[in-house]
Amino acid sequence: MNISVVVPVYDEVESLPELTSWISRVMDENRFTYEIILVDDGSKDGSWEMICKLNKNNPFIRGVKFRRNYGKSAALNTGFAATQGDVVITMDADLQDSPDEIPELYRRITEEKYDLVSGWKAKRYDPLSKTIPTKLFNSATRSMSGIHNLHDFNCGLKAYRKAVVKNIEVYGEMHRYIPVLAKWAGFTKIGEQVVEHRPRKYGKTKFGMSRFVNGFLDLLSIFFVGKFGKRPMHFFGTMGVLSFFAGIVIAIWLISEKLYSIAHNQPYRDVTANPLFYFALVAIILGSQLFLTGFVAELVARSSSERNHYQIEETI
């Protein structure tokens, strides 16, 4: 099979017939073998009934229904597990992504050998309340991830080599960072394609400002897990040793200063009367706790069933 199209669906009943018809037309015109996987993320507007109806009319349309709303990441991860195509395309169900982009995305994966091609909606039809925070979010993600050639990490329209979606796990709110997840998994050939952004035709946006707070916290999580997930002691141990060492140095300096003053009959004050003493005490305690945290985390990591799970490209 050439292409699997994964579409998370949440209260988009009005757009589904037009979207699936459009995708099918593009596939037929380009003679692609395909499947459309619609993942109903707990919709309450009759989206699942529409998916069942579409499935009866088109055998290439498949559906997965969640019992409740789990979020876009869960929908994508479930859809990825069900895919059979050599190239996987993801897009939103609100018709703001154009299926006409699919042939070029497919070509870049198959001919230019990209692992992942992410869409970039250079011209957007969103309000400033959404576009400005998005620009800040993308700038921070580029800096922390080292993927400097992407302008829009959260664009729903993306194309993947099959191996990518089968070797990453999308959870929580991590759908925003799929390029980062792919990079940490060893899929480093990541490209970008300018795509059309269409005004919303049906329904209402699911956008909320809380996504940026959650998104930033998820970025910190993915950065830490990706870099130190298999060696947490390198992070906690280093921070702990530095903090403990700084506290010890300050304490020794305070004691030495007092002993020097006593030896030379100079006025002095008690070590405990110096504010630096409490700073040193906090640094020593914090350093000890960080080191112990790293030790416990290392034990947990070494006991994990994933401790020796690595991404293997091929064997001969």
- Report the CATH number at residue 165: 3.90.550.10
| Pair (100, 34) in one structural domain | yes
Which residues span the domain enclosing 64?
Answer: 3-228
Same domain, 133 and 163: yes
Asked if 146 and 236 sit in the same domain, the reply is: no
Question: Per the domain annotation, does 314 fall within a domain?
Answer: no
Q: Which of 193, 228, 263 is a domain's end point? A: 228
Domains of the chain: total:
2
Output the furthest CA–CA distance in the chain (Å, rounded). Answer: 98
Q: How many other CB atoms are there within 10 angstroms of residue 178's CB atom? A: 24
What is the model's pTM? 0.75
Residue 164 to residue 283: CA distance in whole angstroms: 43
Q: In what order do the strands lie in the sheet with 87-90?
A: 61-65, 34-40, 3-9, 87-90, 158-161, 116-120, 190-194
Residues 64 and 137 in one domain: yes
Verify that 169 and 289 share a domain, yes or no: no
Instruction: Let me know whether 20 and 53 are in one domain.
Output: yes
pLDDT (tens digit, 0 to 9) for every residue of the chain, 316 residues total?
999 999 999 999 999 999 999 999 999 999 999 999 999 999 998 999 999 999 999 999 999 999 999 989 999 999 999 999 999 999 999 898 999 999 999 999 999 999 999 999 877 666 666 667 777 778 878 887 889 899 888 889 999 999 999 999 888 778 888 998 899 888 999 999 999 888 777 766 655 556 666 667 777 776 777 677 677 888 888 999 999 999 999 999 999 988 888 888 888 888 888 888 999 999 999 999 999 998 888 888 777 665 555 555 555 5
Does 208 share its domain with 238?
A: no
pLDDT at 114: 97
**HSE on the CB side for 312, CA within 13 Å?**
5
Q: Tell me: do 215 and 259 sit in the same domain.
A: no
Same domain for 245 and 139: no
pLDDT score at 85 = 95
Which of 213, 228, 243 terminates a domain? The answer is 228
In a domain, 309, yes or no: no
185 shares its domain with 288: no
Query: Considering the domain boundaries, does residue 101 fall inside one?
Result: yes
Are 203 and 259 in a shared domain?
A: no
